[in-house]
């Protein structure tokens, strides 16, 4: 388990050259388990295209044990249907799946709240998809500009969802740990700062903010 914050991990990945921090935007926790616990683990990538849920079912009965099922549905097909319901999610749980993350919609809200593993997605839609043979299991997928491969490492909590490339896992952890420590130092400086008698805020600012203030571009008089 990784004990660093999701925000620090995202910042670390940006610093490592991953433009969006390997984050998956637009996804939200959809059942009680997702709202109550942090989800993390290796990924089983699934592609479910053209409004078909066939390969979500195929993945459920594949080598899923200990992995998180991550489903790409393909723009604009994520709006076409629900890609999983409570029975299929419960089946995945019984097969050893750690969690389900879908770039699309799900259904059976009441039933999903009884499933012990976290389910993340875009929301709820009552209609089921087809079983057309469109998609695959185990090959790289792309969600929100982020490439996701077999056994890359996913983390999801109240700050969102991101995926760490498996070969960068240790490096990202170390860098994120340093970032968390620096953030705690910054919080301590803010807590100790005398805002009533001191207007020299430079010690609290990030370097880029310091540079801007020193440039004289801000008309402070106009803001008084």
Average pLDDT of adjacent 10-residue blocks, the chain of 224 residues = 94 94 95 96 96 95 93 82 96 97 96 98 94 95 94 97 97 95 91 82 84 79 63
Domain range summary for the chain, segments of one domain joined by +: 23-164, 186-223
DSSP code, position 30: -
pLDDT at 224: 61
Residues in Cβ contact with 172 at an 8 Å cutoff, skipping those fewer than 6 apart: 9, 12, 13, 16, 164
DSSP code, position 20: T
pLDDT at 163: 98
Residues in Cβ contact with 183 at an 8 Å cutoff, skipping those fewer than 6 apart: 5, 8
pLDDT at 183: 92
Token pair recorded at residue 75: 């723009």
Written out in words, the top-level CATH class of the domain with range 23-164 is: alpha beta
pLDDT at 172: 96
pLDDT at 221: 61
Token pair recorded at residue 193: 């700062």
Sort 203 into a burial class: Cβ within 10 Å, 0-12 / 13-18 / 19+. exposed
Which SS3 state, helix, strand or coil, does residue 122 take?
A: coil
How far is residue 146's CA from residue 116's CA, in Å, rounded to a whole number?
27
Task: Centre a 10 Å sphere on the Cβ of residue 194 and count the other Cβ atoms it contains.
Answer: 6
This prediction has a pTM of 0.90
pLDDT at 1: 84
pLDDT at 162: 97
């Amino acid at each position: 388990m990784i004990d660093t914050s999701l925000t620090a991990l995202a910042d670390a990945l940006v610093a490592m050259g991953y433009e969006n921090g390997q984050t998956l935007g637009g996804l939200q926790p959809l059942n009680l388990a997702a709202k109550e616990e942090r989800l993390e683990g290796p990924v089983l990538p699934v592609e479910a295209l053209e409004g078909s849920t066939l390969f979500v079912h195929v993945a459920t009965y594949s080598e899923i044990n200990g992995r998180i099922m991550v489903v790409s549905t393909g723009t604009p097909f994520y709006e076409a249907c629900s890609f999983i319901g409570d029975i299929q999610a419960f089946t995945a749980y019984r097969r050893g799946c750690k969690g389900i993350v879908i770039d699309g919609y799900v259904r059976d809200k009441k039933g999903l709240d009884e499933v012990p593993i976290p389910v993340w997605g875009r929301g709820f839609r009552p209609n089921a998809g087809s079983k057309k043979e469109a998609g695959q299991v185990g090959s790289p997928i792309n969600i929100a500009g982020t490439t996701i491969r077999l056994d890359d490492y996913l983390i999801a909590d109240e700050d969102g969802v991101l995926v760490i490339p498996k070969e960068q896992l240790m490096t990202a952890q170390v860098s994120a740990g340093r970032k968390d420590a620096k953030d705690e130092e910054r919080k301590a400086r803010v807590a100790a700062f005398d805002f009533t008698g001191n207007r020299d805020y430079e010690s609290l600012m990030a370097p880029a903010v310091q540079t801007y203030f020193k440039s004289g571009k801000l008309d402070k008089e106009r803001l008084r």
